[in-house]
Amino acid sequence: MLKNFTKFISTNRSLRPLLPLHPPSPISVHNGILGFFGGSHGAGVVRMLAMGYSSLLNLNDLQDSPGRRKQKTRKGRGIGSGKGKTAGRGHKGQKARGTHKCGFEGGQTPLRRRLPKRGFTNQFSLTFQPIGLGKIAKLINAGKIDSSELITMKTLKDTGAVGKQIEDGVRLMGRGAEEIQWPIHLEVSRVTVRAKEAVEAAGGSVRKVHYNKLGLRALLKPEWFEKKRRLLPRPARPPPKIRDKVDSIGRLPAPTKPIPFAPEPEP
């Protein structure tokens, strides 16, 4: 016998004599979560049922969940398929024989030329990723965001609140605003009125900061600059048109302490 033989698991041996009393009922291992194996209770009962099969997982009875994989329609392969002979094209004509240009209406002015053009694309428009207060609250409850520190756009990206594509900044929105009950301090690009009210009612503060594209990259990915052996850029001032929409210039690298708003002047 092999030395140091210690068999730690030998449950089915003890249950074997009970097998003849129970007819081996087919255990329907549903394509989904087999709940009873998750817990220790009830495992004994299930193991007796499992004796009907040689093992729970066999190479010859593996199946994916029903509806998971759909077969594609192969056209022109016989009557039984329903798409044989004409293969869904009807009888004769240009459409059956060849391809015709998409949108061509036989010479009549096509729809896309009948309708007028409209507008222009503003090169300078900024797109901000929305993030609701409810999601931030959920992450704080889960322990992923530290509510005592300043929450910048970098923490929102790192913890997965916003996602990897942040175009020009983050806009704080009000969905789930009731869940914020503690003071939190945020530095984001834009805020909605209700979100700001909700945060300030809880005792926190929101500061709208300005970052240009390069500055945002330096905030979110400082390691990219290190890899290229570049210094972090100086944060840019907001251009005149945007000056009213922001409170202050963003700080680089990502700040940890909020700048308090100036106290109201004594009368």
Partner 1 sequence: MVLAGGVFDVPIRKDLVHRVVRWQLAKRQQGTHSTKTISEVSGTGRKPWNQKGTGRARHGSLRGPQFRHGATMHGPKPRSHAIKLQKKVRRLGLKSELSARTAEGKLIVFENFDIATHKTKHIASCMSQMDDVKKVLLVDDDSINEKLKMATKNLHYVNVLPSIGLNLYDILRHDTLVMTKADVDKIVERMHTPINC
The residues binding partner 1 (CB under 8 A) are 1-13, 29-35, 37-38, 40, 43, 46-47, 50, 54-59, 62-65, 68
Closest CB 64 distance from partner 1, rounded Å: 5
Closest CB 11 distance from partner 1, rounded Å: 5
Name which of 74 and 245 has its Cβ closer to partner 1. 74
Closest CB 221 distance from partner 1, rounded Å: 16
Closest CB 193 distance from partner 1, rounded Å: 37
Closest CB 187 distance from partner 1, rounded Å: 26
Q: How far apart are CA 260 and CA 206, in angstroms?
A: 10
Q: How many residues does the chain have?
A: 267
Q: How far apart are CA 214 and CA 220, in angstroms?
A: 10
Name which of 162 and 252 has its Cβ closer to partner 1. 162
Joined together, the tokens standing for residue 64 give: 């994916």
Closest CB 192 distance from partner 1, rounded Å: 32
Name which of 33 and 193 has its Cβ closer to partner 1. 33
Name which of 63 and 94 has its Cβ closer to partner 1. 63
Name which of 68 and 117 has its Cβ closer to partner 1. 68
Closest CB 60 distance from partner 1, rounded Å: 10
Name which of 4 and 121 has its Cβ closer to partner 1. 4
* C-alpha gyration radius of the chain: 32
Name which of 42 and 130 has its Cβ closer to partner 1. 42
Q: How far apart are CA 170 and CA 35, in angstroms?
A: 41
